[in-house]
Structure 1
Amino acid sequence: MIYSNLSRSSIFLFLVPILLISCSKPELEKKSNPNIIIVLADDLGYGDIGAFNSESLIKTPHIDELASEGMMFTDAHTTSAVCTPTRYALLTGRYNWRTKLKEGVLTGKSKALIASDRTTLGSMLQKQGYHTAMIGKWHLGMDWGLKEGETFKPGGWNPEDYDQLDFNKPIENGPGTRGFDYSLALPASLDIAPYVYVENNALTSIPTKTTIDQGEYSWWREGPTSVDFIHEQCTPVFFEKSMEYISEQSKMENPFFLFLALPSPHTPILPTKEWQGKSGMLPYADFMMMIDDYMGKLNQAIKEAGIEENTILIFTSDNGCSPAAGFEKMVEMGHYPSGPFRGHKADIYEGGHRVPTIVKWPSTIAKGTVNSTLISQVDFMATFAELTGYEMQDNEGEDSFSFLSQLNSDPSDDLEREGTVFHSVNGTFAIRKGDWKLITSKGSGGWSFPRPGDSAQEGLPAMQLYNLANDPAETQNLYPNERAKAEELEQLLVKYIQDGRSTEGAIQSNDSFDGEWIQTWFMKD
């Protein structure tokens, strides 16, 4: 079992960097800044948490307790309805479509998406005296070593795509060069090879076998697998390693930042034996109950470490629930993974990108607070920059707005943001300004009806406009009758694209942009 190997044979290697970093920076005074922990679930729907959905059939008592101890954001969003772009925005404060990634996600062998000179949440906090760790699903690309005579070929969906890789060589441009002092990473999703643990810049074990599972909910793609990698144990490993990290760092002089990026409840849906069948529903619900139990243990670990008062703990998700989880079957059972919202993972509708978000910070946030302010995960960069006194430059966090005032003062305070942009799996845009949301396509832009290319889209208006205050389920398209409002939002979106930013500051360049880009990507059917 990998955790046994990591906690014993590798624990010395794990702790030495921490001790060296502590000793190598004697000039740093003890910080009053809070510790920061972000737990990012994978494919968890807004309606899957009891605190956000009173009709949820999935029991989540520990996450509900976390909500009662902190602040619930009921209008919190990812920037994308799928995982790689969401992670990019969360860590950089910049929309993913400003990069070469205009649609879809990366594979397990994709090259690093975050540029080497791009400031990340991790590197920013390092500059502010934090020790930083990334534990969990990375899915932002890393540069693998190649066998002699090989040149890099893209791909990664098929097992033979990995034949050119030399797993014995160090890995470059992973989490360690993007702002994290320590990392234990799954390269991509739990259903995308290679199935290995990357600790800092090397594998904990070299792949010696190929695995595949084709169960209804437990499936994963065929690919190289390390002997110490057991799919069912991946989520427990990351939680246990995170609790070790919290325990050790609580004893150190400087604050820490932990990014715990869960690979679950994304497919393969693999609750451990003790949780199988516990929900009386589908394996997805069992998996959620398991995650909830681990969140209870993590919350308790923070308390036992004596750091609860000045630790910010955030729990959220990278997008909505996936149809692969048995979405429709759960609806038939009376459970709505997206709660009152339309759509699910991959969609431009609210169910694709509105996610449950809880922020706990006992020294500052009153217990049981509910906040309806619109925030986005792209805002974490500016929020923690303001918190720690970091002055962002024009080429940092171009789309990030601080919501620190929501935590420090009257939660009714408005943010400076004018508009917020969302993106679907196929590259469809939406922009939100106040209660108004414009979708630049006829359908979902993803995997729910009407899907891109469906004949059902014929005859529909070119765009969709909804007033979410009156119609949160996005059932009444007001585009035909509110063309002036739609044009206002469309022009704002075009400005954000062309300016390379949506915040105030000097115009910036997009990584991948030409005169035809808007025509090619803006209108996606």
Structure 2
Amino acid sequence: MRINKTHYISILVIAVFALAAFSFAKKNELKSKKSKPNVIIILADDLGYGDPEVYNPDSKIPTPNINALAKSGIRFTDAHSPSAVCTPTRYGLLTGQYSWRTALENGVLLYWDKPLIDQNRQTIATMLKESGYNTAAIGKWHLGWLWSDERGKDVNDTLSVMPHDAKLRQPLADKIDFTKALGGGPTTVGFDYYFGDDVPNYAPYAFFENDKLLQIPDMIKPDSVYGNPGPMYSGWDLRAVMPTITEKAEKYIEEQADSKNPFFMYFALTAPHTPIAPAGEFQGTTKIGPYGDYVHQVDYTVGQIVKALEKSGQLENTLIIFTSDNGSPQRDGTGMSGAVGSVKASGHDPSKPYRGTKADIFEGGHRVPFIVSWPGTIKNNQVNSQLFGLNDVISTLAGITGNSKKNSQFEDSMDFSSVLLGKTDKPVREDIINHSAHGSFAIRKGEWKLIMTEGSGGWTKVAPAANGKKLPPIQLYNLEKDPQELNNLQAEYPELVKEMSAKLEIYKTQGYSNPDFSK
């Protein structure tokens, strides 16, 4: 029997459409089987509260994708990172415990430091994995590894994370066998998969996958390449880091479309942290230089994640969190860095309307953007002024994924799931603790903020008191009336100072601030 060409083409077209329809139906079937939402946390690195347009109408940086994400869900205006610097925030986000309760009392982990997360601790990843989730961490880690020598013996397991002495750490590079498997990384604390570069300005300058280096360092980083000294893979390109981890994240999302299990992806960006290294296509896209271009690249990355979810038919069943690990240091990007505060000369203030920068106890150090989107479940166009901490994410996800009973395990985390789902507008938190790079504490209660140091506790230099007097050792501000923290009211409200300082001391000494925590 002869089949003419037209008939053959018709059969082929019908077959293609049938296959596409089957594939679409199969994906919808898999989606319907996922009774729990996929979860993606996008953690920007050093993005300021005033960088996205949706938080700062005077921002000089186009952020259409972050704006759209906020419009599709709920935007918090009083959200805080557990610390004003990197490592402690990542620890608090994943574990629900303030990092200053661990051996890391201030600052961040340095290169070659051992893991900070105890492998017996519950993390977001272990909790969701136990609930049937596939789990992945992509991007920056900065929570430590175990490095071994050619005999397989750990070389950094006895090194204390305090004090932060680079001289004690640099010689370890000569002892490490970079072909050996690493210990203590993401795959030991609940993640099925990891891909990233650990820390963009720390050695080794190479990509990691799971517990191995994908590229073996074969040279020492030259001074012409930005970053701390140490071993580097000779093909390393700082500007390729963000595009590479973004592509990995998109690919992971696409792969999960065919899984019967929901997924959790912790996507920790390396931007706009130094090295401020926008990829070629983003250079010159803003009017304020490299810093603005890099923030614009962050916005593009957010858009790519949403597109990957849309393309794979998973957007409606995915809860997306977008936030930052601390405030911005406000560098302009000169030499991939720049002086702290230098980008403000361009007319853009990454901390607006607040005072301070990354590392500070002032609001600019730790008040961060926090956006949650879950199309069809979380109502859009919401703005919420409740006090919130990134350490609350783990309890909130526990509430959303049917793990509420585990909330008593998290020392400093509280459940906001009812707020996100529109079941209540009652305040969840009465107070919260802030912490600076140098280890200074503050406590918030309502509109009041008590700071237990005389200065910024970080990088912002505070002018000395007039007439040769000393600055008061504590500061009390009414943030509702004085968001810039300029009018210290500690002398006018001694009883409030006494009450708030006593509460802070209780939280520090008893080992938890979550009222539902069970020892």
Count the aligned residue pairs.
Answer: 473
> Quick check: 343-352 or 474-483, which moved more?
474-483
Q: Choose which of 419, 435, 451 in structure 2 pairs with 1:423.
A: 435
User: Equivalents in 1 of 2:469, 2:348: separation in Å?
Assistant: 32
Give the 3 Å change call, closer, same or farther, for CA 395–374 of structure 1 in structure 2: closer
Residue equivalent to 1:37: 40
Task: Answer yes or no: is 1:206 the counterpart of 2:216.
Answer: yes
Q: Where in structure 2 are the equivalents of 1:416-495 lying within 5 Å?
A: 417-450=429-462, 459-495=470-506
Give the 3 Å change call, closer, same or farther, for CA 506–267 of structure 1 in structure 2: closer
User: Equivalents in 2 of 1:394, 1:494: separation in Å?
Assistant: 23
Indicate if the aligned counterparts of 1:499 and 1:507 stay in contact, CA closer than 8 A.
no
User: Equivalents in 1 of 2:41, 2:234: separation in Å?
Assistant: 29
> Quick check: 380-389 or 225-234, which moved more?
225-234
Which amino acid is the alignment partner of residue 440 of structure 2? Answer: T
Residue equivalent to 2:342: 329
Residue equivalent to 2:21: none
User: Equivalents in 1 of 2:469, 2:113: separation in Å?
Assistant: 36
Q: Where in structure 2 are the equivalents of 1:208-227 lying within 5 Å?
A: 208-213=218-223, 219-227=226-234
The Cα offsets for residues 21-73 of structure 1, whole Å up to 9 and x where unpaired, read as xxxxxxxx943110000000000101110000000011111111111112111
User: How far is 1:145 from its partner?
Assistant: 1.1
User: Equivalents in 2 of 1:455, 1:112: separation in Å?
Assistant: 42
Q: Where in structure 2 are the equivalents of 1:108-507 lying within 5 Å?
A: 108-148=111-151, 151-152=155-156, 154=159, 160-187=171-198, 189-213=199-223, 219-227=226-234, 229-325=236-332, 326=338, 328-393=341-406, 396-409=409-422, 412-415=425-428, 417-450=429-462, 459-505=470-516
User: Equivalents in 1 of 2:312, 2:469: separation in Å?
Assistant: 59
Indicate if the aligned counterparts of 1:156 and 1:162 stay in contact, CA closer than 8 A.
no
User: Equivalents in 2 of 1:202, 1:124: separation in Å?
Assistant: 24
User: How far is 1:226 from its partner?
Assistant: 2.1
User: Equivalents in 1 of 2:314, 2:389: separation in Å?
Assistant: 27
Which amino acid is the alignment partner of residue 205 of structure 1? Answer: Q
Residue equivalent to 2:8: none
User: Equivalents in 2 of 1:506, 1:316: separation in Å?
Assistant: 25
User: Equivalents in 2 of 1:171, 1:161: separation in Å?
Assistant: 14
User: How far is 1:393 from its partner?
Assistant: 4.8
Give the 3 Å change call, closer, same or farther, for CA 251–427 of structure 1 in structure 2: same
Query: Runs of 5+ in structure 2 lacking a partner?
Result: 1-31, 160-164, 333-337
The Cα offsets for residues 331-359 of structure 1, whole Å up to 9 and x where unpaired, read as 22221110100001000000000011111
Indicate if the aligned counterparts of 1:75 and 1:375 stay in contact, CA closer than 8 A.
yes
> Quick check: 289-298 or 111-120, which moved more?
289-298
Indicate if the aligned counterparts of 1:78 and 1:86 stay in contact, CA closer than 8 A.
yes
User: How far is 1:117 from its partner?
Assistant: 0.8
User: Equivalents in 2 of 1:455, 1:71: separation in Å?
Assistant: 42
Three-state SS of the structure 2 residue aligned to 1:134 is strand
> Quick check: 272-281 or 429-438, which moved more?
272-281
The Cα offsets for residues 139-158 of structure 1, whole Å up to 9 and x where unpaired, read as 00010112458843746577
- Using the size of structure 1 for normalisation, the TM-score is 0.86
> Quick check: 280-289 or 236-245, which moved more?
280-289
Q: Where in structure 2 are the equivalents of 1:40-59 lying within 5 Å?
A: 40-59=43-62
Indicate if the aligned counterparts of 2:288 and 2:348 stay in contact, CA closer than 8 A.
no
User: Equivalents in 2 of 1:204, 1:395: separation in Å?
Assistant: 39
User: Equivalents in 2 of 1:213, 1:130: separation in Å?
Assistant: 43
User: Equivalents in 2 of 1:38, 1:224: separation in Å?
Assistant: 30
Indicate if the aligned counterparts of 1:194 and 1:223 stay in contact, CA closer than 8 A.
yes
Indicate if the aligned counterparts of 1:31 and 1:129 stay in contact, CA closer than 8 A.
no
User: Equivalents in 1 of 2:505, 2:355: separation in Å?
Assistant: 26
Give the 3 Å change call, closer, same or farther, for CA 507–387 of structure 1 in structure 2: closer
User: How far is 1:192 from its partner?
Assistant: 1.4
Give the 3 Å change call, closer, same or farther, for CA 395–71 of structure 1 in structure 2: closer
Indicate if the aligned counterparts of 2:250 and 2:305 stay in contact, CA closer than 8 A.
yes
Which amino acid is the alignment partner of residue 206 of structure 1? Answer: I
Give the 3 Å change call, closer, same or farther, for CA 411–283 of structure 1 in structure 2: farther
Q: Report the structure number with the largest CA radius of gyration.
A: 2
Which amino acid is the alignment partner of residue 199 of structure 1? Answer: E
Give the 3 Å change call, closer, same or farther, for CA 212–54 of structure 1 in structure 2: farther
Residue equivalent to 2:10: none
Indicate if the aligned counterparts of 2:147 and 2:154 stay in contact, CA closer than 8 A.
no
RMSD of equivalent CA atoms: 2.1
Which amino acid is the alignment partner of residue 227 of structure 2? Answer: W
Which amino acid is the alignment partner of residue 407 of structure 1? Answer: L
User: Equivalents in 1 of 2:518, 2:321: separation in Å?
Assistant: 32
Indicate if the aligned counterparts of 1:42 and 1:265 stay in contact, CA closer than 8 A.
yes
Indicate if the aligned counterparts of 2:329 and 2:341 stay in contact, CA closer than 8 A.
no
Indicate if the aligned counterparts of 2:331 and 2:343 stay in contact, CA closer than 8 A.
no
The Cα offsets for residues 93-112 of structure 1, whole Å up to 9 and x where unpaired, read as 00001100011100121100
Which amino acid is the alignment partner of residue 412 of structure 2? Answer: D
User: Equivalents in 1 of 2:240, 2:269: separation in Å?
Assistant: 12
Indicate if the aligned counterparts of 2:40 and 2:266 stay in contact, CA closer than 8 A.
yes
The Cα offsets for residues 251-273 of structure 1, whole Å up to 9 and x where unpaired, read as 21010000000111100001111
Residue identity over aligned pairs, in percent, reads: 44
User: Equivalents in 1 of 2:479, 2:402: separation in Å?
Assistant: 35
User: How far is 1:504 from its partner?
Assistant: 2.2
Indicate if the aligned counterparts of 1:235 and 1:262 stay in contact, CA closer than 8 A.
yes
Three-state SS of the structure 1 residue aligned to 2:50 is helix
